[in-house]
Chain A
Amino acid sequence: MGRYITRRVLQGILTLFLVMFLLHLLTTLAIQLNGNPAQAFFGDRTPSPSQLAAVEARYGLDDPCYDQLGNPCIGPFVERLGDYAQGDFGESLRGREVTDIVSTAAPNTLRLFAVVTVTWLLIGMTLGGIAARRRGKASDHGIRGLSILIDALPVFVMLLVYKYIFSVPASRWAKETFGADSFPALLFKPSFSPQHAWVTVIIPGILLGLAGSAAFIRLVRAAQLETYNADHVRTARSKGLSERHVSRHHVVRNSAIPVVTAVGIVFTEALAGAVITEGMMNIYGMGGVLWKAVQDSDVSVVIGIVTLLAVVTVVVMIVVDVVYAALDPRIRYE
C-alpha cells in the first residue's frame, strides 16, 4: 500500500507541474495576443508610460518575452516556481497578497463543498439504493424521473427561485418568530454571512449538491443493480443471510467503488456550479474570486488560484485512488 501511495503522489506532482506549465503557456499567449494586463490596473484611465512601466515592474510583466508572440517565457515561469516554493504567491493588482485572498476565500468554498458532498452521498445512496432494490416498480420509475428533472433544472434557476420566492418570506417569518440570530432565521437568510459561516452555507450547499446529485442517483442504482446480480450476493442469500445484511455488507460496500470515483470527478466539475452559487448567494469563495480576477485580467490571482485548485484536484484524486485501493485490494497489485 505504501509503495502504491508513493507512486500516486509522485504522479500527482508531475501532473501538477504539467498543469502549471500549461497554464503558464496559456496566460503568456493571452498576454501576447491581448496586450498588457497592467493596463487593467488603471481601469478607464490612460496611464502615463512611466506609471504603466512601474505597474509592469511591480507585477513582473516587464520581461520583454511577453511582447514576442510565441515565446514560451520560460524565464518568468522558473522564477514563479521559485517564488511558489518559498510560499510567495504574488500580489493582486491592488497589492493584496494572493495567499491572503485564498486564505479568506478557501474556507468558505471548502465548507460549501463539504455540504455539497454530504448532500450527494445522502441523496445518491438513499434514492439510488431504493431504486435498485425496487427495480421496475413505481418508486424506481419515480426516482429515475426525478433525477432527469434535477438534471434539466439549471442550478441558477434553483437558486433564483429559492432566493427570491422562498427565502425572503421564510427568513422574515423566522426572524419575527424566533429572533434575528436564531437558527431558522440564519438558515433561511438569502445570502451567506461570514459571521455565521456554517449555518448560512447549508442551503446553498444543499441546492448545489442537489443539482449534481442526479448523476449519483443513477450511478448508485446501476452499480448496486450489478452487484445484486453478482455471484457472491447470490451465495450470501443462499446461505440464508437476511436481506438487510446482504445489502449492507455485500451490495453497498461493493458498489461503492464507482461512487467514490465519481465523487472525485464531480467534485472538480462542481466548481463551475460553485462560481454561480457563490456569486448569487454572495459567498466570498474561490469560484467568485476567480471569476472576478479573470474579468479584471488579474493575472497573478488567476494563476495562483488555478494552481491551488489544481493542487486540490490532484489531492482529491489521490485520496480517491487510495480509498479505491482500500475498497478493492486487487487494484494495488497490478
Chain B
Amino acid sequence: MKTARLAAGLTALALVVTGCGGGDGDDSEGDGDATVKLTLSQDVDTLLPMDSNVGDNISVLDVVYDGLVRYDPKTTKPYNYVAEDISSTDNTVWTIKIKDGLTFQNDEPVDADAFVRAWNYAAYGPNAMANNYFFERFAGYDEMQGEYEEDDEGNVTVTTEPTAKELSGLKVVDPQTLEVTLNGPFAGFATMLGYTGFFPVAQECIDDVEACAVKPIGNGPFEIEEWDQGQSLSAAKWDDYSLEETPDYGRIEWVEYSGDSDWADFEAGDVDASFPPPAEWQAAVSDPDLSSRMVEGPGAALTYIGFPMYLGKPFDDIEFRKAISMAIDRDTIIEKVVPGRFVAADSWVVPDGVPGGVAGTCEFCTFDPAAAKAALAKAGGWPKDKKLIIHLGEDEESEAIFKAVGDSIQLNLGIPYELDPTPDYFDRRSARDFTGIMRANWFPDYPLNENYLAPVYASGDPKLGNTSFGYYNADFEALIKEGDSAPDLESAVTKYQEAEKVIASDMASAPVAFSRNVMFYSDRLDNVVLDPFSGEVKLRQLKVN
C-alpha cells in the first residue's frame, strides 16, 4: 500500500517535472490523477458545515463530508450512506444506526458523538450558525436560544443566557446508535439528514472552530489542501476513504471569481465548467461546439408574487389575486428577459425536483388577459390613479423580471405600477411595512414538498396569519400536521400535496418562475450531472478524461 502510494507520488512528480502537469489535462487519461478546475463565487466565506448554506460551500462540502443520507442526483430521493439504518415507530423518536469503522480525516471516529457535538453547536443560539433553524424540530431547541426582551421599536436585549447548551432530544445509546426526539412527529425527518447542516464534525473541529471553518476536517473522499480565501481552494483525494462513492480523479481546484467573470477563462480553457453572463447567452447556445457540451436540469427555486393580505382590500380578495396572476405573460417575459435560466411556474412545489412535486397545480397561472379583466372587475376593480407598488430586493435580475411583470399587469389590467427595490427587504417584510405586492423567492432546504409549504405559509396564528403575507387557512395547517404525523413518508407526501391544493384554491400567492440549472463544460469532462438544488456539478458522479 505504502509503496503503491509512493509510486503514484513519484509518477505525479515526474509528470510535473516533465512539464505535463500544466497542460490541458491530456496527460492524465485514466490514471486517476486528473485535476478538475471549477469556479467558486466569492460569496464563500466559511466551510464550517453548521454555517454553510450557499450553493458554493455546499458543493465543496459535498465531497469533503459524508452525511447520514445522500440524495440521488436524478430523483433527489434520499438513501442511507453513513447511516446503517434510520427508523422510528411514531415519527417522533428516531433511532439512527451509524456504520461501524468510519473515521474523520484526522482519525477520530465518526460515531454518535460526532453528530451530537455538531448538532448541539449548530442549535446553540449565541453561536449564530447559519443552519441554526434546521434544529427547530428537535426537542430542547427553544431552551438553547435564550430569553430576551423586545421593545416597541424592535430592539432586543438578551435578559437571560440560554438555559441549555445541549439539545435534550439527543441521546447517545452506544457509540454507533443515536436516538433523536423531536418536538412532535415529522415523517420527513430522515429526508433532512443529508443536508450540509447535519454533517458530523470532529472534536478537533469544535476545539478550534475558526481553523475548521477554513480547513475542515471531513469524513468524505476529498481533503481540503489549501484555501486562500477570496482566491482559490484546492482539495485532494483522501487515500484512507473507505466508502464506495468516490470519483476516480485526484484533485479539485476551485478558483474564486466575482460575478460572471469566469466565462472568459472557461472559453480560454482554464475552467472546466461555467455559465455565460446574460449578454453571452445567445452566442453560447448558438455555437454548436459549445451547446453540445451543455447540461440542463430543473432547478429548485421558485420565484412568486406575495400579496399583503393583512392590508385588506383588494389584496385579500381571491379574485384580485387571480387577476394579477392571469395578467402575467410568464413565457414571454422569461424568453425576453432571462432566457434559458427560468421556466414559467405553474405550481407551488417544483414539479420535477422533489418528491411530491406536481406540475400544473396552479389553475390561474395561465396567461389569459380577458379572464384577468373579468376577475379584476369581480374584485371591484383597482382605485383610479393609484399605483400598484411592487416591493423587491435590490437585485438587477429580479428588477428586470419584475419590471416586465409590472408592464404585463399595466398592459392587461390598466393598473399603473411602481417598483420599490429596497435593501432591507426582509426586515420590512417581517415588519409588514409593504403597501403593495412583493417579489418573493423560495429555495428549499431539503427535498420534500413540505419544505415549499409549511415554512412559507403556515403560522398557527388564525388572527394575524403568517408573518410575511397575513395568510391563514385552518385546513392547510391541519393537512400539514397530518402529513407530519403520517405513518410513512409516502402518505406524508400525499398529505402535503393536499395542502398544496388548499394553497391553490386560495391562490395564496402567484407562482411566476422556476429556476433552471444550466452548465457548460469543457471537453475534458464526462458524465456531468447537476444537483437540482444547488445547480452545481455533482462532483462524485463526474468523470475526467
Binding site for B on A (CB under 8 A): 34-35, 39, 41-55, 58, 67, 92-96, 101, 104-105, 163-164, 167-168, 171-172, 175, 179-181, 189-191, 193-194, 279-282, 284, 288-289, 292, 297
Which of B153, B156, B256 makes the CB contact (< 8 A) with A49? B156
Extra 15 A-B pairs, beta carbons < 8 Å, given A45-B130, A49-B156: A34-B423, A43-B53, A43-B130, A48-B145, A49-B150, A50-B162, A54-B126, A92-B45, A96-B45, A104-B229, A168-B268, A189-B270, A282-B258, A284-B231, A289-B230
Q: Chain A residue with minimal CB distance to B162? A: A50
Q: Report B-chain residues with C-beta under 8 Å of the C-beta of A181.
A: 19, 22
Q: Which residues of A contact B23 (CB under 8 A)?
A: 179-180
Q: Are A279 and B146 in contact (CB under 8 A)?
A: no
CB closest chain-B residue, reference A165: B264
Most A-side CB within 10 Å, residue of B24, B125, B427: B125
* Interface pair B229/A191, CB less than 8 Å apart: no
The CA-CA distance from A164 to B147 in the complex, in Å, is: 56
The answer to whether B158 and A45 touch across the interface, beta carbons within 8 angstroms, is no
B281: which A residues are within 8 A, CB to CB?
none
Q: Give B residues with C-beta under 8 Å from A.
A: 19, 22-24, 42, 45-46, 53-54, 125-128, 130, 132-133, 145-148, 150, 153, 155-158, 162, 210, 213, 228-232, 255-259, 261-262, 264-265, 267-270, 280, 423-424, 426-427, 430, 467
Residues of B within 8 A of A167 (CB): 264, 268
Main secondary structure of the interface of A (DSSP, over half): helix
Between A and B, 10 residue pairs with Cβ closer than 8 Å are: A39-B426, A48-B125, A50-B147, A50-B156, A54-B128, A94-B46, A163-B264, A282-B262, A284-B42, A297-B423
Q: Which of A53, A190, A280 contacts B148 (CB 8 A)?
A: A53
- Within 8 Å by CB of A53, from B158, B256, B257, lies B158
Q: With contacts defined as CB atoms under 8 Å apart, how many contacts are there between chain A and chain B in the complex?
A: 135
A45, B264: Cβ atoms closer than 8 Å? no
B158: chain A residues within 8 A (beta carbon)? 49-50, 53-54
Whether A104 touches B424, Cβ cut-off 8 Å, given contacts A41-B128, A51-B126, A191-B265, is no
Complex alpha-carbon distance, A94 and B128, angstroms:
11
Rounded to whole angstroms, the CA-CA distance of A167 and B133 in the bound complex is 46
Assess the B424–A35 pair: CB atoms within 8 A: yes
Bound CA span A109–B259, Å: 19
Enumerate chain B residues within 8 angstroms of A58, measured Cβ to Cβ: 128
Contacts of A95 in B (CB 8 A): 46, 210, 213
Contact between chains at A39 and B210 (CB < 8 Å): no
Contacts of A175 in B (CB 8 A): 24, 268-269
A282 to B264, CA, bound (A): 11
Contact between chains at B148 and A49 (CB < 8 Å): yes
| Residues of chain B lying within 8 A (CB to CB) of residue A279 | 258-259, 261
Q: Would A190 and B265 be within 8 Å (CB), given that A41-B128, A284-B230 are in contact?
A: yes
Q: Give complex CA distance A270, B398 in Å.
A: 31
Smallest beta-carbon distance B149→chain A, Å: 9
Q: Does B265 lie within 8 Å of A47, measured CB to CB?
A: no
Closest to A46 in B: B430
Contact: B125 with A54, CB < 8 Å?
Answer: yes
Residues of A within 8 A of B257 (CB): 191, 282
Known: A49-B156, A280-B261. A101 touches B230 (CB 8 A): yes
Contacts of B146 in A (CB 8 A): 50
Residues of chain B within 8 A (CB-CB) of A34 are 423-424
**Closest-CB distance, B279 to chain A (whole angstroms):** 9
Instruction: Give Cα distance in the complex from A227 to B337, angstroms.
Output: 57
Complex contacts, A104 vs chain B, CB 8 Å: 228-231
Q: Is the CB of B231 within 8 A of A194?
A: yes
Contacts of A51 in B (CB 8 A): 125-126, 128, 132, 145
Contacting residues, chain B, for A101 (C-beta < 8 A): 229-230
Check B229 against A164 for contact (C-beta < 8 Å). Answer: no
- Report the separation of the CA atoms of residues A67 and B228 in the bound assembly, to the nearest whole angstrom: 37
**With A and B bound together, what is the CA distance between A53 and B160 in angstroms?**
12
A-B residue pairs, 9 tightest by C-beta: A190-B264, A94-B45, A50-B146, A49-B156, A54-B126, A180-B22, A50-B125, A49-B148, A284-B230
**Chain A min CB distance to B477 (Å):** 20
Residues of A within 8 A of B156 (CB): 49-50, 52-53
Question: Closest CB of chain A to B160's CB: distance in Å?
Answer: 9
Chain B residues lying within 8 Å of A54, measured Cβ to Cβ, are: 125-128, 158
In the complex, chain A residues whose CB is within 8 Å of the CB of B426: 39, 44, 46
Contact A164 B145 (CB under 8 A): no
| Minimal Cβ-Cβ distance residue in B for A55 | B128
* Nearest chain B CB to A95 CB, angstrom units: 6
Point out the residues of chain A lying under 8 angstroms from B22, CB to CB.
179-181
Smallest CB-CB separation from A108: which chain B residue? B231
The contact of B280 among A49, A164, A179, by CB within 8 Å, is A164
Contact B132 A172 (CB under 8 A): no
A48 to B45, CA, bound (A): 22
Select one of B24, B148, B157, B424 contacting A39, CB under 8 A. Answer: B424
Give the CA-CA distance A284 to B54 in the complex, in Å: 21
CB-CB under 8 A from B148, the residues of chain A are 49-50, 53
- Is B264 a contact of A50 with CB atoms below 8 Å? no
B261 nearest CB neighbor, chain A only: A282
B295 to chain A, nearest CB (A): 22
Contacts of B145 in A (CB 8 A): 48, 50-51
Query: B258 contacts A292, CB within 8 Å?
Result: yes
Q: Which residues of B contact A41 (CB under 8 A)?
A: 128
Q: How far is the CA of A190 from the CA of B264 in the complex (A)?
A: 6
**Given A42-B130, A104-B231, do A191 and B53 touch, yes or no (CB 8 Å)?**
no
Q: Determine how close the nearest CB of chain A comes to the CB of B241; give it in whole angstroms.
A: 28
